[in-house]
Amino acid sequence: MSDLANPIYVFAVLCLMVILAVYAGKTKTGSKFGAALLVIVFTAVVANLGLIPSASDSIPLYDGIFTYLAPLSIFYLLLGVNLNSIKKAGAPMIILFVLGSLATALGVLVAWYVVSPEKVLGEDARVIAGMLAGTYTGGSANFNAVALEYKMQEKGILYAGTIAVDNVVTTLWIIVTLAIPTVMQKFWKTRKVSQNTLEAPIAEDERIDFRSLIWLTFMGVLAYFISEKLSDFFPQIPSILTLSTLGVVLAQFRFVNQLKGSHFLGLYLVYIFLAVIGAYCEIASVIELKSIGTTLLVFASISVFVHGVLIVGLGSLFFRDWEMIAIASQANVGGGTTAMALAETFHRNELILPAILVGSLGTALGTYIGFAIVAFL
């Protein structure tokens, strides 16, 4: 075995790429791209320089990460979804968020019939539609859940291209949601919805301790085993969907809530997974992305545009609180973190916690919506 194909060496390089991406993502320039995309780019460069294996000479380590670590990352991220606490967000925010989720699904369907992506992407178009529906409902965990079930991660260039397009559209939507209140108030004066005053949550000490580590490891491995066994008996139910459901159910128990580090553990595994995606990106195949990239960009843009039109239109019928509508939309498309940042920008401190909580709701719903879209198409 060549030293460059040694799994220990390769894994060390993947870990280093994650470190570099996280640090680079905190710089002024890097923050525009995000650590998730940067880890793909950094690893792609290393792989194309021949320092680690790429798609054409893939090694068993990559398959192991796709098979085990990637599903476990989704499970650990879902352990932070406390459905009982989401009611604290208040009915207006929850209603807007659910409307936004339905608007996302409809947006993807509209984009499908307008763009006809299957003409360019073939059978992969259905899966990508589900991935985008999932991520524009609740974030990357849902994006990865759909992708893993259909082995899209093995199509490194296409997968990385979809992530890049998603990143661009999400960034543009942050700008749009910042502008929504200003633009809409010119036509209809805002009518702020009364919310129970909620303080922003105090950041919990997420440093993982030994007790949390042994329990998280046990639960992750057992949940994975159960999901695989159930898929043997019910092959029509994707194992990743079962694993996601187990994560959401376990998250409702107080004992699980008290375990520290599940979010960071899940996030780290996601980055390792994305690093392998980067390794699958070979320069020789990038040329093929020209027409595909345009199709992906138009498809994603129309999906989010329809979502925006619907959530603003329907939201105005019920509440006409333009800032709350913008925050709810951002919770759908960008997730709880960017929605929280938007609430802070608007000086709506009472909406900071609801933004985070409905973002968690999106993480719970997104995978189901993603799979539903794939099945429908």
168-348-337 Cα angle (round to 5): 35
Would you say 299 and 373 are in contact if contact means Cβ atoms under 8 Å apart? Answer: no
Q: What gap in Å lies between CA 224 and CA 237, rounded to an integer?
A: 14
- Ranking 108-122, 140-154, 267-281, 321-335 by mean pLDDT, the lowest is 140-154
Q: pTM higher than 0.85, yes or no?
A: no
Token readout for 289 is 């992305």
Confidence of residue 110 (pLDDT cuts 50, 70, 90): very high
Domain boundaries, the chain: 61-376
User: Tell me: the pLDDT tens digits for 234-267?
Assistant: 877 777 778 878 888 898 888 988 888 888 888 8
Token readout for 145 is 């859940």
Tokens 């320069």 sit on residue: 283
The one-letter code for the residue type at 102 is L
User: Tell me: the pLDDT tens digits for 69-108?
Assistant: 888 887 887 787 666 655 655 777 888 888 888 999 999 9
Tell me how crowded residue 234 is: count the other CB atoms within 10 A of its CB: 11
pLDDT at position 231 over 80: yes
**Measuring CA to CA, which residue among 99, 176, 170, 183 is closest to residue 136?**
170
pLDDT at position 162 over 70: yes
The chain-wide mean pLDDT, for the chain, equals 81
Q: Could you tell me if residue 56 is left (phi over 0), alpha (psi between -120 and 50 degrees) or otherwise beta?
A: alpha
Question: Which residues, in sequence order, are CB contacts of 42 under 8 Å at separation 6+?
Answer: 17, 20, 21, 24, 275, 278
- Distance, first Cα to last Cα, the chain: 44
Q: What gap in Å lies between CA 51 and CA 45, rounded to an integer?
A: 9
Token readout for 23 is 């640090």
What is the mean pLDDT of the segment spanning 189-215?
A: 63
Question: Which residues, in sequence order, are CB contacts of 241 under 8 Å at separation 6+?
Answer: 145, 149, 367, 368, 371
Phi, psi values for residue 81, rounded to 5°: -90, 100
As a whole-number percent, the residues of the chain with pLDDT over 70 amount to 84
Confidence of residue 10 (pLDDT cuts 50, 70, 90): very high
Q: Where are the alpha helices (DSSP H) in the chain?
A: 7-24, 35-48, 60-64, 70-78, 83-86, 91-115, 118-121, 124-138, 140-149, 156-185, 210-233, 239-250, 254-257, 262-279, 283-286, 289-318, 322-333, 336-345, 352-376
